[in-house]
Amino acid sequence: MTLNRRTFLSTSAVAAATLAAPMVRAQGKPRVVVIGGGAGGATAARYIAKDSKGDIDTTLIEPTRTYYTCFFSNLYLGGFKTIDEIGHSYGGLAAAGVNVLHDWAVGVDRDAKTVTLAGGGTLNYDKLILSPGIDFVDMAVPGWDISAQNAMPHAYKAGSQTELLKAQLKAMPEGGTFAMVAPPNPYRCPPGPYERVSMVAHYLKLNNPTAKIIVADPKPKFSKMALFQEGWNNHYEGMVDWVGEDFGGGNVSVDHAAMTVTIDDEVTKVDVANVIPAMKAGRIADIAGVTDGNWAPVNAADMSSKMDPDVYVLGDASQQGDMPKSGFSANSQAKVCANAVRGALTGSKVFPAKFSNTCWSLIETNDGVKVGATYEATAEKIAKVDGFISQTGESADVRKATYEESEGWYAGITADMFGAKA
Amino acid sequence: MRALAAYLAAAALAALPALADPGDVEKGQKLFQQCKSCHQIGAGATNRSGPHLNGLFGRKAAGLDGFRYSKSFQRAGAGGLEWHAETLDTFLENPRAMTSGTRMSYRGLKNAKDRTHLIAFLRQYSDDPANIPEADPTAQGIDHDLDPAILALVGDPEYGAYLSGECTTCHQAAGGDDGIPSITLWPEDQFVVAMHAYKTKKRNHPVMQMIAGRLGDEEIAALAAYFKDLEN
Ligand SMILES: Cc1cc2nc3c(=O)[nH]c(=O)nc-3n(C[C@H](O)[C@H](O)[C@H](O)COP(=O)(O)OP(=O)(O)OC[C@H]3O[C@@H](n4cnc5c(N)ncnc54)[C@H](O)[C@@H]3O)c2cc1C
């Protein structure tokens, strides 16, 4: 018998279920499974479903029902955004035709081409896309492991961790000390820790002006350093003490029971300790066997794994070359990957890869700065082509326009990831 | 040796702005007729539907207090656009290349000589370089109109759809322009002209100069073809 759409729709639900016609048809379609519904994964799933117009069966696996963006989470700490303003649901992806499964992926069998879920199911794939973000390297900061994350939050995955850090910030005694342990390279969002310092300083200036911020940094310099240091001097004079590698910033340990941070053998009792340890690809990339060391190497042209042509790794977890680990980068890589995956599965046209990134940071009210670059795929890596950075001493007008632009970007990228808000 | 010296002298002279054709103020005044219904200039000039044009040279775009400028103009001003002979020349040639959303309905003055005259006329109402050495020089118009062959390119919307991924990270496909302007449903020719203005750095925005800087003519045409009738 043939079932056209009209007769199918007019058949009762029970009859349709017994006929199972849609299942049979669905199984004939190529299948893409995406693990991780963040900047990389949500974008890839949405573009594949939307652009294949239903010709590819696209499933997204993501445990949380609300994705809190790390981007703008520092602005939440500073009081510029509410937590709800940085939360996004997956309704728009479902509307675009993505099957969204709220579960954890716990296993990948690359020979059988299957993914197992914590909830017990198994999914087959033709192409697998991993965008699981980051996890932390064990014992990277002596005295800290993931079990210490309530006493000393990292707030480097947004959501409850960010709320916890904010609560601790609010509870600081007058004139108290906020310590940050900054991560070594490479890590997600190079300007992120320093935008956070700025936002914490903004909050303290208004609410606890005699409080201090100490940053222990294993690096000798950091992203947009001149811009941040200029801003800290202008807006928060005397509040921020940045201890770089040259002054022992890399020789750090913490004691979460005693709430102390030890920098180069000098023990300091602190009120809040924001420990951001060294990072590695989200664990599932390891489980899938596509990592080499801490990250998953990929081919620049399509983001396919160097270990398996049917597996792609996006965003922070990937080791691709020159792009910083940012939401903008992950989103950019996802679109290149979606185009390639669609081409491989349905024969649609594949266009050459093109990548770009811009990271905005807020230093103080209406004082925004940015850094950006364009990239291309070479045989070895994603290579930087051209870039720009905000200048020190820019006028207040320029800085305000830059901040307003970041608001526009936030609206843009979240719509690009999750579909436009209804 | 002497030939080289002469050559160098000539080259140096050619580079001097003093050589620039200052334009004919009277001809400029006639050309200004078409601006008059909206813009006043000279003693007692006030803002009408357009801002007054006294002291225009060295003024920041959207720089007059008390005049309600379009968002496009405000953005351009915040981004550092100032009115000098060169920027005015680019602007007058095709206002929408520099400020896509300007409320000024004027389509532009295509003839480079005419622009020189008009600019020379406008120049009379700003500080005079003869009296104030640091005041703006008066330069001549240059023809930098887009090659008609570029405007005539027919873009491939499918390619544009792919390339648009680079745009929609910031510019919402569904429109909306808080902080970043909408580019959805932008008329094709205006899109092309604006992208080339960024590419040649006539229009000032570091991100857009970088993005447009590596778009080829075909790619710009493809994007324009895609965004002009993007449905949501
Ligand atoms: C404080 C801070 C500020 C930042 N600011 C900016 C900014 O201004 N601009 C910018 O561009 N970037 C910014 N970033 C960086 C940006 O957040 C990340 O680079 C981006 O989120 C990376 O995308 P991703 O897809 O790789 O990972 P994520 O967005 O982290 O997504 C990973 C997803 O995978 C899911 N997941 C993980 N493991 C599994 C599994 N086994 N099964 C199923 N799901 C799984 C997680 O739940 C998560 O939702 C910032 C980051 C931080 C921490």
Digit-coded pLDDT (tens) for A96-119: 999 999 999 999 999 999 999 999
Residue B130 confidence (pLDDT):
65
- The reply to whether A339 touches chain B by the CB within 8 Å rule is yes
Of B123, B138, B162, the residue that ends a domain is B123
Instruction: Report the atom number in ligand 1 closest to the C-alpha of A42.
Output: 25
Q: Is the pLDDT of residue B6 over 70?
A: no
CATH code of the domain made up of A138-275: 3.50.50.60
d(Cα A196, Cα A169) in Å, to the nearest integer? Answer: 12
Interchain pair B169, A374: CB under 8 A: no
Q: What is the mean pLDDT of residues A311-320?
A: 98
Q: Give the three-state DSSP class for B139.
A: coil
Question: Cα-Cα-Cα-Cα dihedral of B54, B58, B64, B67, to 10°?
Answer: 70
- We report the CATH number of the domain holding residue B215 as 1.10.760.10
Token duo for residue B49: 């539907």
Lowest mean pLDDT among A318-327, B13-22, B171-180: B13-22
pLDDT tier for residue B20 given thresholds of 50, 70 and 90: low
Which pLDDT tens digit goes with each residue over A317-373? 999 999 999 999 999 999 999 999 999 999 999 999 999 999 999 999 999 999 999
The answer to whether A59 touches A123, Cβ cutoff 8 Å, is yes
Residue B94 lies in a domain: yes
Task: Report the predicted TM-score, pTM, of the whole model to 2 decimal places.
Answer: 0.85
Q: Is the pLDDT of residue B21 over 70?
A: no
Mean pLDDT of chain B: 84
Which residue's CA is the closest to the ligand 1 atom numbered 8? A71
Smallest CA–CA separation between B5 and chain A, in Å? 39
The interface pTM score, or ipTM, of the predicted complex is: 0.81
Query: Taking CB atoms and an 8 Å cutoff, what residues of chain A touch B230?
Result: none
Cα–ligand 1 centroid distance for A330 (angstroms): 9
d(Cα A347, Cα B103) in Å, to the nearest integer? Answer: 46
DSSP H or E segment with residue B210: helix B206-213
d(Cα A308, Cα A253) in Å, to the nearest integer? Answer: 39
**Burial of A267 (C-beta count, 10 Å sphere; 0-12/13-18/19+):** exposed
Interchain pair B80, A398: CB under 8 A: yes
Residue B214 lies in a domain: yes
Token duo for residue A214: 């100490």
Of B108, B123, B138, the residue that ends a domain is B123
Burial A138-154 (b: 16+ CB within 10 A, else e): eebbebbeeebbebbbb
Q: What is the mean pLDDT of residues B70-83?
A: 87
Question: What's B181's DSSP letter?
Answer: -
The verdict on B21 and B111 lying in the same domain is: yes
- The reply to whether A203 touches chain B by the CB within 8 Å rule is no
The verdict on B102 and B168 lying in the same domain is: no
d(Cα A416, Cα B79) in Å, to the nearest integer? Answer: 26
Smallest CA–CA separation between A392 and chain B, in Å? 15
Interchain pair B174, A420: CB under 8 A: yes
Q: What is the CA radius of gyration of chain A?
A: 23
Residue B17 lies in a domain: yes
Residue B89 lies in a domain: yes
d(Cα A343, Cα A400) in Å, to the nearest integer? Answer: 42
Stretch 233-292 of chain A: residues touching chain B, C-beta under 8 Å: none
Residues 6+ apart with CB under 8 A from A96: A46, A49, A50, A419
Domain ranges of chain A: 5-135+279-418, 138-275
Query: Taking CB atoms and an 8 Å cutoff, what residues of chain B touch A354?
Result: 163, 166
Which pLDDT tens digit goes with each residue over A397-419? 899 999 999 999 999 999 999 99
pLDDT tier for residue A21 given thresholds of 50, 70 and 90: very low
- The reply to whether B231 touches chain A by the CB within 8 Å rule is no
Lowest mean pLDDT among A23-27, A178-182, B205-209: A23-27
Q: Which CATH number fits domain A5-135+279-418: 3.40.50.2000, 3.20.20.140, 3.50.50.60, 3.30.360.10?
A: 3.50.50.60
Q: What is the CA radius of gyration of chain B?
A: 20
DSSP H or E segment with residue A61: strand A57-61
The verdict on B77 and B186 lying in the same domain is: no
Smallest CA–CA separation between B209 and chain A, in Å? 10
The verdict on B23 and B101 lying in the same domain is: yes
Distances (CA, A) of B35 to A172, B38, B76: 62, 6, 21
Q: What is the mean pLDDT of residues B151-164?
A: 93
Which has the closest alpha carbon to B121: B212, B27, B44, B58? B27
Question: What's A146's DSSP letter?
Answer: G
Pocket of ligand 1 (CB under 6 A): A 35-41, 61-64, 67, 70-71, 73-74, 104-105, 131-133, 156, 188-189, 192, 196, 282, 284, 314-317, 325-328, 330, 359-360
CA angle A260, A262, A267 (to 5 degrees): 70
Which has the closest alpha carbon to B210: A346, A387, A60? A387
Interchain pair A415, B174: CB under 8 A: yes
Residue B137 lies in a domain: no
Query: Taking CB atoms and an 8 Å cutoff, what residues of chain B touch A400?
Result: 78
- The reply to whether B178 touches chain A by the CB within 8 Å rule is yes
Asked if the domains at A5-135+279-418 and A138-275 fall in one CATH topology, the answer is: yes
**Which domain range does residue B73 map to?**
2-123
- The reply to whether B80 touches chain A by the CB within 8 Å rule is yes
Interchain pair A407, B178: CB under 8 A: yes
Smallest CA–CA separation between A230 and chain B, in Å? 21
Residue A26 confidence (pLDDT):
47
The verdict on B164 and B218 lying in the same domain is: yes
Which residue's CA is the closest to the ligand 1 atom numbered 19? A326
Residues 6+ apart with CB under 8 A from A152: A144, A254, A256, A273, A274, A275
Residue B99 confidence (pLDDT):
87
Residue B130 lies in a domain: no
Q: Is the pLDDT of residue B10 over 50?
A: no
- The reply to whether B10 touches chain A by the CB within 8 Å rule is no
Residue B229 confidence (pLDDT):
87
Number of folded domains that form chain B: 2
Which pLDDT tens digit goes with each residue over B30-40? 999 999 989 99
Query: Taking CB atoms and an 8 Å cutoff, what residues of chain A touch B171?
Result: 408, 412
Which pLDDT tens digit goes with each residue over B78-122? 888 889 888 898 899 889 888 888 888 898 998 889 998 999 899
pLDDT tier for residue B23 given thresholds of 50, 70 and 90: confident
